[in-house]
A and B are shown apart, each in its own frame.
Chain A
């Protein structure tokens, strides 16, 4: 559940928390695009390190580290897959001719696989900073003010709102099945995955049941009765928000320029390995 913890909002105030969710979301999307633009290790390291000051200004280091730890498992899988398949069919830039046999070729392969794992970490990192510093209410409000139909906004905020509830319920279900002799950690890899069936089925069934109940409860309280909704709070973009958006645009332009016109050498070449 640690990945969920890494996305759980905690109400505190910091310059990052006070930013408009729309500006922050734009920034996250830009980070996302830049991370996809580059497959080399060096720019991804820069991207990864660049966001750390944000984390500290927002004061969410502990949760942030937890979310990265949660993502570690998947990052390792990405690394292993890239390495294995890169070994089986290399190529890329700089081009490796199969078979992979010299040390330098192995190092290039290693760097590429590391870059893919780090790209995933950068994506998790930026999303985690976004969700850790944006309250679900603000997020819903931002969606609404971006003219997303209210039904979708509501579905989205409800989904976010129910993540901790689901996490808690998963814990109870695990306890209930353990009390019936289920041992999650027993058996080989396949068996261990199968062990989660008794957890997942009640969790999904209950989630569906709850959503139906929620829908009935809301309709009996006249949900959707007024066509035009108004809000008590309205989001307004302020100076820091424009600044963040501007920085994001500049970063994107710079990244595209580098991608198109400048060579990005592998780290191994720079370090003369």
Chain B
């Protein structure tokens, strides 16, 4: 469980990135943190594994104050996949890359082998086991970065902009993957701009603007509120936009799911005829 209590954070150059943020994320939650560029999303999640320590307030991870422990200790529980895989890949083979963190955490070589095989299999990377990560495509590198974090089986997985540069199939796989993780009672936190992706996944949404939390709630509740999302320079999902446009006909406006939308339209057409 992650508890953020009235946290403010100012970067050394004087930029106030967080202003009194409070948030509770329970075990097994699936949370999407959304908001415009510079809203403080990444700054906030960097507090969850201690990369940043609050200037004011405190962050508790499983009851432990992040001020008091090292990043490495927290990282064992909280896995953080960075936006750009090129910021972490450095080994000669994909296998070594995935094993890197396991070695840092002092796993035994036999366990490391098993975990690596498991993680590569999970992300469909087994055929690249001996390939250099630098030879892989962008999407594959992103999966290697993800595998290298999932390998140590952290309780919480943070994904910073996981959908950037991914094609539709990859996004769909990512979605299924997140569903799998949450089914295993893992906490998944994504930072994203991708409204359509969020609409499909239907997580708990935390909407941020100017270092503050603007709103929090179900994806449906937050994303279908046009006034709210307008304040963060994101648009409601396309489905919602259509239904907002058709509101005069008496159609519901709180839809984000394609299937629900189809149902609502069919009902409407039936009633009409």
Report the separation of the CA atoms of residues A205 and B132 in the bound assembly, to the nearest whole angstrom.
Answer: 13
A209-B104 in contact (CB<8A): no
Question: B101 → chain A, closest Cβ, in Å?
Answer: 4
A182-B87 in contact (CB<8A): no
Residues of A within 8 A of B104 (CB): 180-183
A179-B49 in contact (CB<8A): yes
Choose among A175, A183, A209 the residue with the greatest number of B CB atoms under 10 Å from its CB.
A175
A180-B86 in contact (CB<8A): no
Question: A166 → chain B, closest Cβ, in Å?
Answer: 13
Residue interface mask B137-172, A partner, CB < 8 A = 1: 000000000001100100000000000000000000
Residue interface mask B98-110, A partner, CB < 8 A = 1: 0011001100000
Residues of B within 8 A of A175 (CB): 46, 51, 82
**Closest Cβ neighbor of A198 among chain B residues:** B90
Report the separation of the CA atoms of residues A258 and B23 in the bound assembly, to the nearest whole angstrom.
Answer: 71
**Closest Cβ neighbor of A204 among chain B residues:** B90
Query: Is B88 at the interface (CB under 8 A from chain A)?
Result: yes
A180-B100 in contact (CB<8A): yes
A176-B148 in contact (CB<8A): no
Residues of A within 8 A of B (CB-CB), count = 19
Query: Is B7 at the interface (CB under 8 A from chain A)?
Result: no
Residues of A within 8 A of B84 (CB): 172
Residues of A within 8 A of B152 (CB): 181
A179-B80 in contact (CB<8A): yes
Residue interface mask B71-95, A partner, CB < 8 A = 1: 1100110011010101111100000
Query: Is A224 at the interface (CB under 8 A from chain B)?
Result: no
Residues of B within 8 A of A178 (CB): 51, 71-72, 75
**Closest Cβ neighbor of A195 among chain B residues:** B104
Q: Which chain A residues in 171-222 approach chain B with CB under 8 Å? A: 172-173, 175-183, 197-198, 201-202, 205-206, 209
Known A175-B46, A205-B134; judge A180-B90 contact (CB<8 A). no
Residue interface mask B189-224, A partner, CB < 8 A = 1: 000000000000000000000000000000000000
Question: A176 → chain B, closest Cβ, in Å?
Answer: 4
A183-B70 in contact (CB<8A): yes
**Closest Cβ neighbor of A206 among chain B residues:** B86
A172-B87 in contact (CB<8A): yes
**Closest Cβ neighbor of B80 among chain A residues:** A179
B82-A176 in contact (CB<8A): yes
A176-B87 in contact (CB<8A): yes
Report the separation of the CA atoms of residues A198 and B91 in the bound assembly, to the nearest whole angstrom.
Answer: 8
A198-B51 in contact (CB<8A): no
Residue interface mask B215-241, A partner, CB < 8 A = 1: 000000000000000000000000000
B82-A202 in contact (CB<8A): no
Residue interface mask B40-62, A partner, CB < 8 A = 1: 00000010010100000000000
Query: Is A169 at the interface (CB under 8 A from chain B)?
Result: yes
Residues of B within 8 A of A182 (CB): 72, 100, 104
Residues of B within 8 A of A179 (CB): 49, 51, 71, 75, 79-80, 82, 149
Known A202-B86, A202-B88; judge A181-B76 contact (CB<8 A). yes
Residues of A within 8 A of B134 (CB): 205
Report the separation of the CA atoms of residues A37 and B11 in the bound assembly, to the nearest whole angstrom.
Answer: 44
Report the separation of the CA atoms of residues A169 and B90 in the bound assembly, to the nearest whole angstrom.
Answer: 15
Binding site for A on B (CB under 8 A): 46, 49, 51, 70-72, 75-76, 79-80, 82, 84, 86-90, 100-101, 104-105, 134, 148-149, 152
Q: In the complex, given contacts A179-B80, A181-B104, what are 11 additional A-B residue pairs having Cβ atoms less than 8 angstroms apart?
A: A169-B87, A175-B82, A180-B148, A181-B72, A183-B104, A197-B90, A201-B90, A202-B86, A205-B86, A205-B134, A206-B87
Binding site for B on A (CB under 8 A): 169, 172-173, 175-183, 197-198, 201-202, 205-206, 209
27 contacts between A and B (CB under 8 A): A169-B87, A172-B82, A172-B87, A173-B88, A175-B46, A175-B82, A176-B87, A177-B88, A178-B51, A178-B72, A179-B75, A179-B79, A180-B88, A180-B101, A180-B104, A180-B148, A181-B72, A181-B101, A181-B104, A183-B104, A198-B88, A198-B90, A201-B90, A202-B89, A205-B90, A206-B87, A209-B86
In the complex, the 6 A-B pairs of residues with the closest C-beta atoms, listed nearest first: A181-B104, A201-B90, A180-B101, A179-B80, A176-B88, A176-B82
